[in-house]
Amino acid sequence: MALNFSTTTNEHFKIIISCDSSVKMNDDQKSKYFNSGELDGVQIDDDATWFTLKPLSIEDREQAEIRAGAFTRSELGKLLWIEAPNDTKFRAIWHNKLDNDEREALAKYEQYQNRTYCEYVRSALIAINDDHADFEMINKISPASARVTTITEIVLHLHRVSTLNNLGK
């Protein structure tokens, strides 16, 4: 079993979001950026939006999960979420076969996951374009698809910098 270790939470880091119209990147560049934070070859216009974040410690993540409802989340929903097929078509067929209690449990767990991501962002966000920022600013991003993308990508970067993979040990 591989162990992951927290990195320092004292150093801040900056990211951009792929759906920002001032950022041009292809799928390979996105994948590289999400996995390593490298922006090689990415076109970033001067008016791109930069988010300053701090890595989250184990304690930060645990507190965010508690605020999101970790002690009341659906364990059946968690099990179903883990077992769900990745393929979109198979997932739809699988979901259709769930009974109502299972569907409700899965929905409640997915709502918990969404709240957890928002709490991670709330805990980590320092600034937007070098101006102090809070989660409510993220929550006002429009359209909703850009807001969801922003939260998701911030969480991806937080995961990348808040834990070290085997290469970083």
Lowest mean pLDDT among 10-14, 39-43, 62-66: 10-14
pLDDT, tens only, 81-95 = 999 999 999 999 999
Output the pTM of the full model: 0.86
Token pair listed for 24: 């041009």
Label residue 13 left, alpha or beta by phi (over 0 means left) and psi (-120 to 50 means alpha).
Answer: beta
**CA–CA gap between residue 76 and residue 149 (Å, rounded):** 27
If you average pLDDT over every residue of the chain, what do you get? Answer: 91
Q: Whose CA is closest to 155, among 167, 147, 143, 144?
A: 147
Asked whether the predicted pLDDT for residue 102 surpasses 80, the reply is: yes
How high is the pLDDT of residue 70? 95
How high is the pLDDT of residue 10? 73
3-state secondary structure the chain: CCCCEECCCCCCEEECCCCCCCEECCHHHHHHHHHHCCCCCCEECCCCCCEEECCCCHHHHHHHHHHHCCCCCCHHHHHHHHHCCCCHHHHHHHHHHCCHHHHHHHHHHHHHHHHHHHHHHHHHEEEECCEECCHHHHHCCCCHHHHHHHHHHHHHHHHHHHEECHHHC
